[in-house]
Structure 1
Amino acid sequence: MIQLKTPRLFIQPLTKTQQELYLANNGSLEKELGLNYTPKKINEDLEDSLKNFFLPLITKHPQHHLFYTLWAMVLKEEQTLVGDLCFKGPPDDDGKVEIGYGTYDGFQKQGLMTEAVAGLVHWCQQQSRIKTLTAETEASNEASEKVLIRNHFTLDCQTRDNSWWIRKVSE
């Protein structure tokens, strides 16, 4: 089992079954992981992506499991889920892969996502297939932009509504 460690967090990719428990959103995932349950609201877009993109693709392409699942963020001190990260598919032929992330209500503005993204970047630097990370933010989401800036992403392109960020992790 892969488990990334940062000063305050454990970060681990969920299995297909654990991702299904995540969607149930009733404490069954926390029970499976031996964690304390804190109610959370699952974003509609994330729920749709899990049901219609990630879960079917984990089944179809199990060799790419790590790129079609949520990576759960566990706050060590409280033994509770505080957010999640994901890849939006495996690296392309150029080694580019997009990340997404979200912090649960009640755990925002504590630097947890900055720390989690740093942990994920570090893991990516150890993967020979990954050369570049990208991320998309809504133009109005300053907190998300700060997470990326603090992790040495640079603005790649921007429209009125969205910004795209990029970070080299290896040559």
Structure 2
Amino acid sequence: MLTFNFTPCPTLSTERLTLRPLTSADAPALFAMRADPEVMQYIPRPLATTVADAAALIEAMNEGMSRNELLNWGIARHTSDEIIGTIGFYRVQPENHRAEIGYLLHPSQQGQGLMQEAVAAALEYGFEVLQLHSVEGVIDPRNEASARVLLRAGFVQEGLFRQNGFWNGQFQDTAYYSLRCPASR
């Protein structure tokens, strides 16, 4: 079984991005994304209604990191400290050497390859530093942009669960993607 220590949260750097710990100062930017119906369209979570909602989410994620249950970064361009998205490992399973990757990006930043860059950095950290054996991506199958990000990163679709979740008065399908550590392929 793996042993994780997510405190302190590492900062990662790519060609254009910094993946860094979220702080309470990020609450307004996170609120702007979590309150946006376009951003949250395929994420079965309620829209944030106040900046305090976003601040509480940041606090909850940071508490989860202190318990080594998840690892979450804010995504910022090198040219600004304001976050434009988030990415992280959730549903961490130390006994299975596995975690789920999740991410979101502000609509104004989409279509520029930024999430692909962030995913590559997170996966490198997950496989090389955390020693994960595999990472899963769990998405709404209607989210074609997210599916493209996963496929470009080397994930393969492992399954489609039909109407396995209930959200906003409707049953929802869930697509499961998986990527094994390059060293174990």
Q: What TM bracket, shorter-length normalisation? A: 0.7 to 0.9
Percent identity for Structure 1 against Structure 2: 22
Contact persistence 1:71–1:84 (CA under 8 A): yes
Give the aligned partner of residue 77 of structure 2. 75
Alpha-carbon distance in structure 2 between the residues aligned to 1:144 and 1:153: 11
TM-score scaled to structure 2, two decimals? 0.68
Give CA deviations for 1:8-66 in whole Å, capped at 9, x if unaligned. Answer: 1111133xxx1x4434x2x6x9xxxxxxxxx83325727579847x745754772516x
Q: What secondary structure is seen at the aligned counterpart in 2 of 1:145?
A: helix
Please, which runs of 5 or more residues in structure 1 have no aligned partner?
30-38
Deviation at 1:159, TM superposition (A): 3.2
Please, which runs of 5 or more residues in structure 2 have no aligned partner?
1-8, 163-172
Correspondence list, 1:1-150, <5 A: 2-14=10-22, 18=23, 20-23=24-27, 25=28, 40-43=32-35, 45=45, 51=56, 55-56=59-60, 58-59=62-63, 62-64=66-68, 67-68=70-71, 70-150=72-152
Alpha-carbon distance in structure 2 between the residues aligned to 1:121 and 1:164: 17
Contact persistence 1:89–1:98 (CA under 8 A): yes
Greater fraction strand: 2
Give CA deviations for 1:126-149 in whole Å, capped at 9, x if unaligned. Answer: 124411100111111110001001
Contact persistence 2:26–2:82 (CA under 8 A): no
Contact persistence 1:11–1:73 (CA under 8 A): yes
Alpha-carbon distance in structure 2 between the residues aligned to 1:146 and 1:57: 26
Structure 1: which amino acid aligns with 2:178? Answer: I
Alpha-carbon distance in structure 2 between the residues aligned to 1:77 and 1:61: 27
TM-score scaled to structure 1, two decimals? 0.73
Give CA deviations for 1:60-113 in whole Å, capped at 9, x if unaligned. Answer: 772516x25x31111113443221112213333110100110011211111110
Alpha-carbon distance in structure 1 between the residues aligned to 2:176 and 2:131: 21
Alpha-carbon distance in structure 2 between the residues aligned to 1:13 and 1:56: 13
Alpha-carbon distance in structure 2 between the residues aligned to 1:91 and 1:50: 26
Q: What secondary structure is seen at the aligned counterpart in 1 of 2:26?
A: helix
Give the aligned partner of residue 174 of structure 2. 162
Q: Which moved further from structure 2: 79-88 or 97-106?
A: 79-88
Alpha-carbon distance in structure 1 between the residues aligned to 2:34 and 2:54: 11
Alpha-carbon distance in structure 2 between the residues aligned to 1:91 and 1:144: 22
Alpha-carbon distance in structure 2 between the residues aligned to 1:105 and 1:51: 23
Structure 1: which amino acid aligns with 2:21? Answer: P
Structure 2: which amino acid aligns with 1:88? Answer: Y
